Amino acid sequence: MNSSTSRTSSIRCRTLVILSGSLAFLVSCQSDPMARFRSLTPEIFIAQGIASQSSPPSTSESKVDQPQDAPHASEPGNNKENIVDLLTVLRLAGAGSLQIEEARERMKESQARLEQASARWVPNLTVGGTYLKHEGQIQETQGLVVQASRNSIFTGAGLTVSVHLGDLFHEPAAAKKAVEAERAAVAGATNETLGAVAGAYLDLQEAEAQLKAARIATAEVQELVQLAEGFSQAGQGFEADAARARNELALRLREKLEVEEMMMSRSIRLAHLIRVDPSIPLHTAEGTVLPMELFSADASLPALIEQARWNLPAVLKRRARVEELKRTRDRERWRPLLPELRVGVSGGGFGGGPGAEIDDFSERGDLIAVLVWEAQNLGLGNRGRLREQEARLRQSIIALDRALEETGAQVTNAYYHAQHRRGQIEISVTNVEESRNSFDLNMTRIRGGEGLPVEALQAVQASAHARNNYIRSVARFNRSQVELLLSVGASAASRLEP
């Protein structure tokens, strides 16, 4: 396997791992089923001698740095161009995505609620003092109303606990499931962000390949223009043929400008997603499209669907929500049957006396323990709260069932996209080879004086069309692979071995 194939094979494997949520785990692949497709790329884009015109700057001239403490790949004005590979842009996106950061903060919020729920049994500590002053009438224990003047003071500390036993048992369990749901949401946000970045990278890669193809087509037409004009001047051809060739050249030049515009637009979009300076053009390390096979042709659709049902972050979040609401429902079911526990213990110094005197200041201790069963609104309130939680649970189960159905449809759709687009590459390869042979045969015949240059114009157009079809087929295939990866979920990483 040549160095180019080995490099792109490594990128293919690392892409799968990173999109599955592990930026640190790098693996290598032992085989490359797409080697035939990859080996065609130099024949299409390099054999014609155009590579030097269309390749991005070498990595020795400029390359995006990979800082550890900041997501920005470069400072404005440092470089005229930046070369990035797929691993780099995914790392930058993972480090700097506001969407991922927001999801992480929501997870931290749920973890804080779990911490609070787990500490419900821990008593509250109170420290302070109380001063009481009374002047005027007051009722004695026997019922008589008398005039009194007194005051008292207490200083000390106390511990109090007030918790419903249903909350004590069920609230932490529900909070744990809420944390699981938010953790799955972080994984989902990560996959969504990295999927968008991978798509933008592949779009830029496609534009670079189209620019190379446009330059090749332009060079071919320029040769035809020179031949047609030479034939016309020598009286062996018609000026109309030369004009037709010049018109085709103008069309190719306009097409090249359109592709350059598209490439810049896609570079800006990728720069925006990874949060680097969009005014500095980005180029992919490959500089052209290379088939990226994340799933083999014989991958089992039922197995992929089953993986998605148990590993897709969106489904995991739904499952965790169902379990959370089950705990909440159980809490309301047991609420009228379990008591609320109230315990308080305090100690300190207490003293007092008539008028303004404070005498007999000495130690004092108090303990109170209360168990209270409560039927809210004679049980009607409890029944309403239970029915509310049961309805919320049923909604969550329905949402989970809907997510499972959507997951199956998404995986199936992505699977067949990948399968059909794989076949399109096969046909495109043959089309490129045949159109190139046709062009070479026409040019050989024309140079031998057996035909006119204009006769090769159709072959040039067919060759350009075949190259563009190949580029489009590979780009669509790569996107379908990423689409399938995202629809399956993080478990795909387990299929690779380091």
Would you give per-residue pLDDT tens digits along the chain (498 residues)? 444 444 444 434 443 333 433 333 222 332 344 444 444 443 444 333 333 333 333 333 333 333 333 333 443 344 467 888 888 888 888 887 888 999 999 999 999 999 999 998 899 999 998 888 888 888 888 888 888 888 889 899 999 999 999 898 899 999 999 999 999 999 999 888 888 999 999 999 999 999 999 999 999 889 888 888 888 787 777 888 888 889 989 999 999 999 999 999 999 999 999 988 898 999 998 888 888 888 888 889 999 999 899 989 999 999 999 999 999 999 999 999 999 999 999 999 888 888 777 778 888 899 999 999 999 999 999 999 999 999 999 999 999 999 999 999 999 999 999 999 988 988 888 888 888 888 888 888 777 777 777 778 888 888 899 999 999 999 999 999 999 999 988 533 333 232
CA distance 267 to 411: 29
**How far out from the chain centre does Cα 232 lie?**
60
Q: For residue 267, what pLDDT is reported?
A: 94
Domain 3-115+176-331+379-495 has CATH 3.90.1150.10: no
Domain ranges of the chain: 3-115+176-331+379-495
Q: For residue 159, what pLDDT is reported?
A: 92
**DSSP H helices in 234-300:** 239-274
Question: What is the bridge-based pairing of β-strands 282-284 and 82-84?
Answer: parallel
Amino acid residing at 124: N
Residue position matching structure tokens 């409560």: 374
Residue 330 φ/ψ region, left for φ over 0, alpha for ψ in the -120 to 50 degree band, beta for the rest: alpha
In terms of Cα–Cα distance, which of 9, 18, 172 is closest to 89? Answer: 18
